[in-house]
Amino acid sequence: MTALKYILRDMVRLVVHHWVLGLLTLITAGVMLWILGVTTLLSLNIENMLTKLESELAVQAYLVKDNTLDVEAVSKKIQSLEYVASMKAFSPADSLAKLQEKMGSQSRALEMLGDNPIPWNFEIHVNRAEDVAPLVNALKEMPEVEDVVYAGMVVRRISALSRIASRVAMIMFILSVVITSLVVYNTIHISLYSRREEIGIMYLVGATRAYIATPFVLEGTLLAFFGALIACGGIIAAYFPGIELIRENLPLLTNILLTDRGIIWRFCALLAGFGATLGWVCSYLVVSRFINSITRPE
């Protein structure tokens, strides 16, 4: 407890001593973490949108019209294919009924067909848009399947978009993490360097490395943490009005965006934790390296 008080006091001394540098670090960390947060949220939204759309993507497989066909066995065979998330079977009668329902008043036309021309068919759902193409190929290779119907173009576009979005988010993520780390690392290094003589003396008169190091590590952790808080403030200030704007102008999009306030608050808490952890890791690395080099005897 006593040690903690002394350590906190020493940390305050450090921060006050280098306050201009600290402020710059805070702002840089804030901006970078804000960018990180915004791109992550954006890609989360795109992901969310995709999963919503993907869950509606279905591949329709029509079997050959053959009364001797063992539908049960074919169903099992399809079920065992790699990309199948779920499937539903429709008998010829069901299918016709469905069709009649859809066509409403025009359903009389169907009666003119005489025999029900629709074969047994399956509605197959996949987990991800990318899975559609290989599934379709696998189905087409089955002799029992006559035709496969699916929204090919939409699927291809969606998976391309999803890939680009996650790649951009990844690049922004790495960039923000690298820049934030470098800035924190550098600031703490300067802080350490300006006190290298003192660090040597402290060690010489019996301070442990941990006692010497902790104020510096705390300094770095706090700078990154407060930077992250600034970023959170910026995100909240931008996100909710942004959602409002979309709600007014593009109401269709509203239900596929993340609009739940709880989620955004939790996201911000996560970002703050991430910032603090990043600051801790960077300053821990620089401090332990620096103190090692200074306290090594000749």
Q: What's the min distance (Å) between Cβ of 297 and another protein?
A: 5
Site for another protein in 202-231 (CB under 8 A): 202-209, 211
Q: How far is the CB of 199 from another protein (least distance, A)?
A: 10
Identify which of residues 123 and 198 has a Cβ nearer to another protein in the complex. Answer: 198
- The answer to whether the beta carbons of residues 220 and 290 sit under 8 Å apart is no
- Residue 220: CB minimum distance to another protein, A: 19
The sign of the torsion formed by the CA atoms of 48, 53, 56, 60 equals negative
Q: Is 298 in the site for another protein (CB under 8 A)?
A: yes
Nearer to another protein, 167 or 196 (CB): 196
Would you count residue 5 as binding another protein (CB under 8 A)? yes
Q: Is 82 left (phi over 0), alpha (psi -120 to 50) or beta?
A: alpha
* Residue 17 near another protein by CB under 8 A: yes
Residues 280-293 as b or e (16 or more Cβ within 10 Å = b): bbbbbbbbeebbee
20 binds another protein (CB under 8 A): no
The residues, ordered by sequence, that sit 6+ positions from 278 with a Cβ below 8 Å of its Cβ are 177, 180, 181, 184, 224
Residue from 85, 171, 201, 263 binding another protein (CB under 8 A): 201
C-alpha–C-alpha distance, residues 137 and 140, integer Å:
5
Give the count of residues interacting with another protein (CB under 8 A). 21
Measured on CA atoms in the order 157, 159, 162, 166, is the torsion positive or negative? negative
C-alpha 93/C-alpha 241 separation (Å) is 51
| Nearest distance in Å: CB 280, another protein | 22
Residue 297 makes contact with another protein by CB under 8 A: yes
14 vs 235 by CB, closer to another protein = 14
Closest separation in Å from C-beta 17 to another protein: 8
Contact 293, 192 (CB under 8 A): no
Residues that bind another protein (CB under 8 A): 2-3, 5-6, 17, 195, 197-198, 200-209, 211, 297-298
